[in-house]
Structure 1
Amino acid sequence: MAQRREDVLALLQNERHLWLASADADRPHLVPFAYAWDGACLTILTRRTSRTVRNLQGGGLARVALGTARDVVLVDAEPEFIEPEEADERTSALFASLPMDPRRVPGVIGVRLRPQRILAWRSLSEMRDRLVMRDGTWMA
């Protein structure tokens, strides 16, 4: 479990793109995003009028996928919206590391995704022990 946690943290730190799933009453929505990891949360930027924003505002949880089919990490996360002009210095630095930096791209909003549950596995043999975070707390 300790090694799996370290591997998940390394992936979160080193990867730069994720797939984010959200849904409304009609259908699911899955889109790729560049992201920044601050050690506790994933941060993305998107247009404030996007379907993703509408879905997350109405639905609560988001699901994020990183990695490949043979080394996957799934993150269920609570979204928090951040107005660029209200971002603290640390969050502004995260925004600056992303392609849609609000200083260059008008009309975007930040979305901080706080992990609540993380599943990770590399093969069928790891399926049984894939839960590495529950209720925002890393498993032992």
Structure 2
Amino acid sequence: MSQAAPARSAKQRKQDTLDRLEREVDAWVATAGSEGGTPYMMPLSFLWRDACLYVSTRATNPVARNLVASGQVHLGIGPTRDVVHITGRCEALSADEVTEPFADAFAAAAGFDPRAADGPYVYFRIRPVRIQAWREANELTGRDLMRDGVWLDMD
């Protein structure tokens, strides 16, 4: 059994999380239909921009239907022993919000361009409400970095 690394400070954990959101590409996205519908999870690529995550998926897939119906989402980024867990509120972007520069930035970050994919794709904006990050059990205490959409005091 390997020895766990020392726990990071909350300030370091927040910085590591922000760095990760800037460089990572993929997240596990978990949704459920409104009124307690069936849970569904799938990997999606994302763009971190303006303190929000942006994802895109085919309009007919369960994640898209659930996001439209409930507006709630959970995301997991990273391996289980270095995870960022995000609870968020979600909204579909209007056609006016999907500008060419935005769609180009998404395609560059995600490594695929929904505009060139089969079927209609929808873009979603996810506003984090709660963010947690931990590596090992020694970081479970203090894993909350954001609550109610506000970063906690990390000093």
Q: Note whether the superposition's TM-score is higher than 0.5.
A: yes
- Alignment partners' CA distance in 2, 1:70 and 1:126: 10
Shifted more, 93-102 versus 29-38: the winner is: 93-102
Describe the superposition over 1:72-129 as per-residue Cα deviations: whole angstroms up to 9, x where unpaired: 1100011110145542355223333234524312410101111110011111011110
What one-letter code is carried by the residue in structure 1 that aligns with 2:32? A
Gaps (5+ residues) in structure 1?
none
Describe the superposition over 1:16-47 as per-residue Cα deviations: whole angstroms up to 9, x where unpaired: 11000001234210100111111411111101
The equivalent of 2:116 in structure 1 is 104
Flag as ranges the 4+ runs of structure 1 deviating above 6 A.
none
Q: Give SS of 2:141's match.
A: helix
What one-letter code is carried by the residue in structure 2 that aligns with 1:124? A
Gaps (5+ residues) in structure 2?
1-9
Specify which structure has the higher proportion of strand. Answer: 1
The equivalent of 1:6 in structure 2 is 15
Percent identity, aligned pairs only, is 36
Number of aligned residue pairs:
140
Whether 1:16 aligns to 2:25 is yes
The equivalent of 2:99 in structure 1 is 88
Report the structure number with the largest CA radius of gyration: 2
- Alignment partners' CA distance in 1, 2:120 and 2:100: 20
Describe the superposition over 1:50-72 as per-residue Cα deviations: whole angstroms up to 9, x where unpaired: 11111112222100000111111
Whether 1:73 aligns to 2:80 is no
Whether 1:138 aligns to 2:151 is yes
Judge conservation of contact 2:67–2:91 (CA < 8 Å) in 1.
no
- Alignment partners' CA distance in 2, 1:48 and 1:89: 19
- TM-score, normalised via structure 1 length: 0.90
- TM-score, normalised via structure 2 length: 0.82
